[in-house]
């Protein structure tokens, strides 16, 4: 009886932990999508993660296709990364002073984000989250240009700072919110939200407000309304239009940077892996996720003369007690060093295998869908035709995702708990992990069809 009682208690551990969390943490979570709001059911409370797998509070192991929403590119608890962090920790957790490792990481980033010896990063400033990186990039663009307006695209997520939460995709889309309460009308009015992949709309915005637009910010390839890659030449045209109008182009590679390739999405375009992308450079680029290897680290980088507008050289203030934290820098440096061309080739193959199998399973059940790719990032939209923008994506049969998600979860595979998020593979997703995903697909596709 003791064993039965223990088992019964354990089998409800996720539910119990969620109930307890809700008493002390709003919604029981520290980031909204974790609450399973759009898929329903009990969120899994994780206690450990290793390689391609995560383990929940009930001791159940899942193949993980979330990868901490991107950072775990090498797989969870990669030995080299963990060791680098442990060694750094033994030397002190935070100094609030400069360290040799920060310059080393900045140099590594500059050197990696290059194609044919040329790249957009001349200087880099480290912060702790992607939100801070984009928020600072915008302040910097405003300070540098002396202008006030910002252009963003509907469905693009750049973190949760006030001016960027308009039609912001991701968790906001998952919760079906238009934006967020608590943002003043004055702030909202300074952000022009345009449809993605629509250069005429961009040109019209500049025709009307040419003297006032400080910057256009764009996800390098959109991946927070599901994955939605830019159309041929879109990013390059943004670079041309902003330059012609004295505005800056901020390319947000928080999600794509060091994930879709060693030089991010820009690197794919600049090497013409993505056709028509060659010959352009952003003024500013933001990084997060992989750059911190699972620790809180993000960065903004770009042209020297713009970056030097930041304090202490320039008039644009930005700072952080934990900026360039030594543990985070150690994790990021170890991760980038281990993310070799072989790793990216493996990610590309693995993503293609899972995407093709998922699509085949959905087709076998007659579920209309499109496969959305941006390099090794992928997701599915329950639509007949490939979407171009946020309106298209929102028109899908999103209700099909919850039963699909839960059928996968029942088969011990964790997907992002929202149809508006990318799926992530890692270097640790080997044949065994991939077969477990593939085996789970037919039943999940059947559930989606119902």
Residues marked as catalytic: 157, 252, 289
Contacts of 297 (CB under 8 A, 6+ apart): 126, 127, 128, 288, 291, 324, 325, 328, 329, 331, 332
CA distance 421 to 98: 36
Least distance in Å: CB of 255 to ligand PLP? Answer: 4
CA distance 34 to 42: 10
CA distance 337 to 60: 32
What is the residue whose two structure tokens read 């010896």? 117
Least distance in Å: CB of 220 to ligand PLP? Answer: 8
CA distance 339 to 444: 32
- CB neighbours (10 Å) of residue 377? 26
- Find the binder of ligand PLP among 101, 120, 159, 262 (CB under 6 A): 159
Nearest to 147 by CA among 53, 234, 212, 231: 212
- Find the binder of ligand PLP among 254, 274, 310, 433 (CB under 6 A): 254
**Quick one: which segment of 153-161, 259-267, 303-311, 401-409 binds ligand PLP (CB under 6 A)?**
153-161
**Quick one: which segment of 11-19, 48-56, 124-132, 233-241 binds ligand PLP (CB under 6 A)?**
124-132
What is the residue whose two structure tokens read 């061309």? 341
Question: Does residue 127 interact with ligand PLP by CB under 6 A?
Answer: no
- Find the binder of ligand PLP among 17, 193, 255, 444 (CB under 6 A): 255
- CB neighbours (10 Å) of residue 209? 16
Locate 433 and state its tokens: 């992990």
Binding flags for ligand PLP, 54-93, as an x/- string (CB under 6 A): ---------------x------------------------
**Quick one: which segment of 250-258, 301-309, 391-399, 434-442 binds ligand PLP (CB under 6 A)?**
250-258
CA distance 172 to 177: 5
Task: Count residues binding ligand PLP (CB under 6 A).
Answer: 15
Question: Does residue 43 interact with ligand PLP by CB under 6 A?
Answer: no
Binding flags for ligand PLP, 269-308, as an x/- string (CB under 6 A): -------------------x---------x----------
- Do the beta carbons of residue 106 and residue 124 sit within 8 Å? yes
Q: Is 154 exposed, middle or buried (0-12, 13-18, 19+ CB in 10 A)?
A: buried
CA distance 71 to 187: 31
Minimum CB distance to ligand PLP smaller for 115 or for 291 = 291
Least distance in Å: CB of 169 to ligand PLP? Answer: 9
Nearest to 120 by CA among 336, 233, 283, 299: 283
Least distance in Å: CB of 67 to ligand PLP? Answer: 12
Minimum CB distance to ligand PLP smaller for 257 or for 403 = 257
CA distance 54 to 412: 10
Minimum CB distance to ligand PLP smaller for 238 or for 444 = 238
Question: Does residue 219 interact with ligand PLP by CB under 6 A?
Answer: yes
Residue ranges that bind ligand PLP, judged by CB under 6 A? 69, 129-131, 134, 157-159, 219, 224, 252, 254-255, 288, 298
């Amino acid at each position: 009886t003791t064993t039965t009682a223990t088992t019964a208690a354990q089998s409800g551990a996720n539910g119990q932990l969620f109930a307890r969390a809700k008493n002390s943490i709003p919604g029981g979570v520290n980031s909204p999508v974790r609450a399973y709001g759009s898929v329903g059911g009990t969120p899994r409370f994780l206690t450990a993660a290793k390689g391609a797998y995560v383990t929940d509070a009930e001791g159940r192991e899942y193949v993980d296709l979330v990868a901490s929403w991107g950072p775990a590119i090498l797989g969870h608890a990669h030995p080299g990364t963990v060791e680098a962090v442990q060694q750094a920790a033994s030397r002190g957790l935070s100094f609030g002073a400069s360290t040799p490792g920060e310059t080393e990481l900045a140099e590594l980033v500059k050197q990696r984000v290059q194609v044919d010896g040329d790249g957009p990063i001349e200087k880099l400033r480290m912060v702790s989250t992607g939100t801070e990186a984009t928020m600072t990039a915008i302040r910097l663009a405003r300070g540098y240009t002396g202008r006030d307006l910002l252009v963003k695209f509907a469905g693009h997520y750049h973190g949760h700072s006030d001016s960027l939460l308009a039609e912001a995709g991701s968790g906001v889309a998952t919760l079906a919110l238009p934006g967020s309460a608590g943002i003043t009308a004055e702030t909202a009015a300074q952000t022009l939200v345009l449809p993605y992949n629509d250069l005429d709309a961009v040109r019209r915005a500049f025709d009307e407000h040419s003297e006032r637009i400080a910057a256009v910010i764009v996800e390098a390839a959109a991946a927070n309304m599901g994955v939605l890659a830019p159309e041929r030449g879109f990013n390059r045209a943004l670079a041309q239009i902003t330059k012609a109008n004295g505005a800056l182009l901020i390319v947000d590679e928080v999600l794509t940077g060091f994930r879709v390739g060693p030089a991010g999405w820009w690197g794919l375009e600049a090497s013409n892996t993505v056709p028509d992308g060659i010959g352009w450079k952003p003024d500013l680029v933001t990084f997060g996720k992989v750059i911190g290897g699972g620790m809180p680290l993000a960065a903004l980088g770009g042209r020297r003369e713009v970056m030097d507008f930041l304090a202490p050289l320039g008039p644009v203030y930005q700072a952080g007690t934990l900026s360039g934290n030594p543990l985070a820098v150690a994790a990021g440096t170890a991760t980038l060093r281990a993310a070799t061309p072989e790793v990216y080739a493996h990610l590309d193959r693995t993503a293609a295998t899972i995407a093709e199998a998922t699509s085949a399973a959905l087709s076998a059940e007659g579920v209309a869908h499109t496969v959305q790719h941006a390099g090794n990032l992928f997701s599915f939209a329950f639509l007949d035709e490939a979407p171009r923008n946020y309106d298209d994506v929102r028109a899908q049969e999103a209700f099909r995702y919850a039963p699909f998600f839960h059928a996968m979860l029942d088969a011990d595979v964790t997907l992002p708990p929202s149809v508006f998020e990318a799926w992530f593979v890692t270097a640790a997703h080997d044949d065994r992990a991939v077969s477990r995903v593939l085996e789970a697909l037919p039943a999940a596709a059947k559930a989606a069809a119902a």
